[in-house]
Amino acid sequence: MTSSKMTGPKKLFIKTYGCQMNVYDSERMSEALGGQGYVETDRQEDADMILLNTCHIREKAVEKVYSDLGRLRKFKDVKPDLKIGVAGCVAQAEGGEIMRRQPLVDLVVGPQSYHRLPEMEAQTQKGQKALDTDFPEEDKFEHLKARPKAKRAPSAFLTVQEGCDKFCAFCVVPYTRGAEVSRPVDRILTEARDLVERGVREITLLGQNVNAYHGAGPDGSDYTLAKLIWDLDKVDGLERIRFTTSHPNDMTDDLIEAHGTCAKLMPYLHLPVQSGSDRILKRMNRSHTAESYLRLIERIREARPDIVMSGDFIVGFPEETEEDFQATMDLVEEVKYGYAYSFKYSTRPGTPAAERPLVDAAAADDRLQRLQGLITHHQRAIQDAMVGRTVGVLFEKPGRMDGQMVGKSDHLHAVHVKDCSAAIGEVRPVRIVSAGTNSLAGELIL
Ligand code: 5AD
Ligand code: SF4
């Protein structure tokens, strides 16, 4: 028996960095540690355990983890029993090095070992350090404690696939998250039904390469992501399905078709291209061209004309010239993204691109600014074009003003409605009346 049983629940503070998969993993870790007597707190100073769920995708993300760890010393000074843990992709990549560099860390756990957290926590209670960055055979989700039946917010993430076999030349994901693995269909459906029972109306299926999903169906046959979506479409009470992140080469015909025919599948697609230059795409090992990507988007738009596209871009990839960058600007001009995330190239040790000569930093900064300017311009134009249209909105929470409610449109725009009679978790038609910088304003159609 742990001392917590006598002194009340222990408190857990989790800080989540990086992608949506980390958000999902943090929830699952919190539930797993719930079995050890922990409840979550949002106050670091109250915590008995602080867990940093880290991201390794860019250099800055790693530096941030080490500087945040340094800042935790003051909490440990006043509470020597405080346990400090590092999870996520930095834990995977750095392993025991983290404890050597920052001795106040008690626990290091890689993304494939989260089901071992309870025993690792027990180890730290005995004053020992705990480290696990294996890629075990067993399915961690199967071993993580089932989600308790507590009420949930209307929108939830559900990891269906993890890892990546693509090996883009700049990316650490295949090393930190490992090879592509898909969860079986029946487990996903069980989890989805459970989420719906607890108030969830929208599920975003997560995977580093989610459209490469190939989990085993109930009859043992290989499923595609589209097939999984059609099974989820039959779950009563689930109103919206989304998925992220996809690779262009895995946009299968059945998935494109589902965008036109599955009413629950929302008209929004995150499809990173990274660059518009074939020379750079080749060096990035993307195995598609700018032209094949554009043709793919044409087909997706034929299936679902109002789809809002989103993407990721890297500027300043080794040896990128101004001409290469112009090709990226041309591609962006043609696609007109509703959202896009753009990053300056960051060298990741151990990846093939790390061996290549860097672009001048000032040139890369300048390109990033120009690209972000163009993306913002399109984003605003797409938001402005929503004015006068009627869209479905899933209401998620009260707004800052009295009587106001805030939700997400089918196209993932934040929408707020004044004097709103909709309840949290309801999807209602809303006429958009104006567009601001980050959100739309609308009124309910009664
Ligand atoms: N440098 C900059 N951006 C990167 N990304 C992945 N690796 C790097 C890197 N080394 C970006 C890609 C990817 C997104 C999640 O992060 O655009 O799609
Ligand atoms: Fe990284 Fe995505 Fe490329 Fe996989 S497909 S290596 S996760 S950028």
Residues 103, 75, single domain; the answer is yes
Residues 101, 160, single domain; the answer is no
Closest-CA residue to 351 (of 95, 122, 116, 176):
176
- Contact, 78 vs 41, CB < 8 A? no
Query: Which ligand is in closest contact with the Cα of 316?
Result: 1
Instruction: Look at residues 266, 287, 307 and tell me which one is the last residue of a structural domain.
Output: 266
pLDDT at 2: 44
pLDDT at 151: 85
Q: What is the whole-number distance in angstroms between the Cα of residue 367 and the centre of ligand 1? A: 16
Closest-CA residue to 380 (of 425, 439, 430):
439
Residues 39, 118, single domain; the answer is yes
Task: Report CA torsion sign: 407, 158, 237, 383.
Answer: positive
- Is the Cβ atom of 173 under 6 angstroms away from ligand 2? yes
For the chain, what's the residue count?
446
Residues 194, 181, single domain; the answer is yes
- Contact, 302 vs 262, CB < 8 A? no
In this structure, is residue 244 part of a structural domain? Answer: yes
Best probe residue, ligand 1, of 343, 358, 359, 371 (max atoms within 8 Å of C-beta): 343
- CB neighbours (10 Å) of residue 82? 20
- CB neighbours (10 Å) of residue 228? 26
Residues 84, 157, single domain; the answer is no
**In this structure, which amino acid lies at residue 374?**
L
In this structure, is residue 118 part of a structural domain? Answer: yes
pLDDT at 136: 76
Distance CA 386, CA 431 (A): 9
Q: Quote the longest CA-to-CA distance of the chain.
A: 67
CATH code of the domain in which 256 resides: 3.30.750.210
User: How many structural domains compose the chain?
Assistant: 4
Positions of the chain with pLDDT under 70: 1-7, 137, 143-148
The two beta strands, 440-444 and 308-315, are unpaired
CATH code of the domain in which 318 resides: 3.30.750.200
pLDDT at 40: 95
- Is the Cβ atom of 314 under 6 angstroms away from ligand 2? no
Structural domain boundaries enclosing 175: 149-266
Closest-CA residue to 130 (of 162, 91, 173):
91
- Is the Cβ atom of 343 under 6 angstroms away from ligand 1? yes
Q: What is the whole-number distance in angstroms between the Cα of residue 17 and the centre of ligand 2? A: 18
Closest-CA residue to 49 (of 63, 65, 66, 37):
37
pLDDT at 7: 64
Distance CA 22, CA 55 (A): 8
Instruction: Look at residues 385, 408, 425 and tell me which one is the last residue of a structural domain.
Output: 385
Give the number of the atom of ligand 2 that is nearest the alpha carbon of residue 174: 6
pLDDT at 140: 75
